[in-house]
Amino acid sequence: MLLMPNILVTGGAGYIGSHTVYQLQRQGFTVSVIDDLSKGHSASVPADALHVCSLFDHPQLVALMRSGRIDAVIHFAAFISVGESGKEPEKYFHNNTAGSMSLFAAMAEAGVRKLVFSSTAAVYGNPTQVPIPETAAIQAVNPYGESKVMVEKVLDWLDTARGVRSVRLRYFNACGANNDAGLGERHDPETHLIPLILRAVRTGRPVTLFGDDYPTPDGTCIRDYIHVDDLASAHIAAVNYLLGGGATAAFNAGTGRGYSVREVINAVERVTGKEVPHTIGPRREGDPAQLVADSSKLRQTLDWQPRHSTLEEIVESAWVFENRNFA
């Protein structure tokens, strides 16, 4: 019988991590999860796969990698709030950057040399071209993005120094839910557009649109919304690529199609059959007018394509999740 690879997933109890763990297990990978549960939910991961462990617990990380005969690590564990990162940069550089260094030191000790890393479109800052190719300038404009840039740079040196092959997936806007798996977006506090719009529909309390005077056709910001299950499948494609001997690379993980905030509102009104109560507020600091991926490299190199990322499917799945879990 063919032995399936053993994968260690950090932050596997979080939003994107839990969807990826679900798909990995369905495809027969042996999965160990570490999560400190500071943000993640233990119920989002099968109990027998979950190890409650910090990225800074070097002995436990090494022991887990050795006993699990880990072939590759998928590293999600990180804080994700851009706004908070501007107010508390130390927290982001400690958890996201120093935490990654601790993980990499444990990988070195255990001899693990394949890594898929959760990076972000925030590494591009305010892009000068849209759609954004991976070759665009790296110029983060907030500590969250910079905390990821620093890790990407370290990964280049680990490749040179020790042959660590890594894939950095630069996420655009993850959204949607997998209701068969009982998984979806549960951030606390929630700051993301789609769950906030759905909450406004459900509760009648208006959502605030952050600015309608951007240089876009309807004045609201344009983002590239990618269903979390499509993002999860990109991680699996990345793991397979690395296990097959693929070289270190960065890929934009988006659909290549952008939607404005108003277009998202219209989609929610179509799906729910209800009006979205909303008000217009000032711009949110640090929001570029448009972030849309050029995802051709991911499609071509990893033979990946989005299968669930129409705005309708995203909103429908998130609406079912909202009503099942928050009503």
Tell me how far, at minimum, the Cβ of 220 lies from ligand UDP, in Å: 7
- Closest residue (Cβ) to ligand UDP? 221
92, 144, 225, 241: the catalytic one is: 144
**279 SS3 class:** strand
Collect all residues with Cβ–Cβ distance below 8 Å to 209 and sequence separation of at least 6: 220, 261, 262, 265, 278, 279, 280, 281
- Residue 191 is classified by DSSP as -
Under rule CB under 6 A, which residues in 193-222 are in contact with ligand UDP?
A: 193, 196, 207-210, 221
Tell me how far, at minimum, the Cβ of 63 lies from ligand UDP, in Å: 36
Number of helical H runs and strand E runs in the chain: 11, 14
Question: Based on CB atoms, which residue is closest to ligand UDP, 117 or 241?
Answer: 117
Phi, psi of 74 (to 5 degrees): -110, 120
Among 39, 113, 223, 262, binds ligand UDP (CB under 6 A): 223
Binding of ligand UDP by 191 (CB under 6 A): yes
Tell me how far, at minimum, the Cβ of 238 lies from ligand UDP, in Å: 21
Under rule CB under 6 A, which residues in 59-88 are in contact with ligand UDP?
A: 82
Tell me how far, at minimum, the Cβ of 323 lies from ligand UDP, in Å: 20
Under rule CB under 6 A, which residues in 230-289 are in contact with ligand UDP?
A: 261, 284, 287
The residues carrying an active-site annotation are 144
Query: What residue ranges bind ligand UDP (CB under 6 A)?
Result: 82, 173, 191-193, 196, 207-210, 221, 223, 261, 284, 287
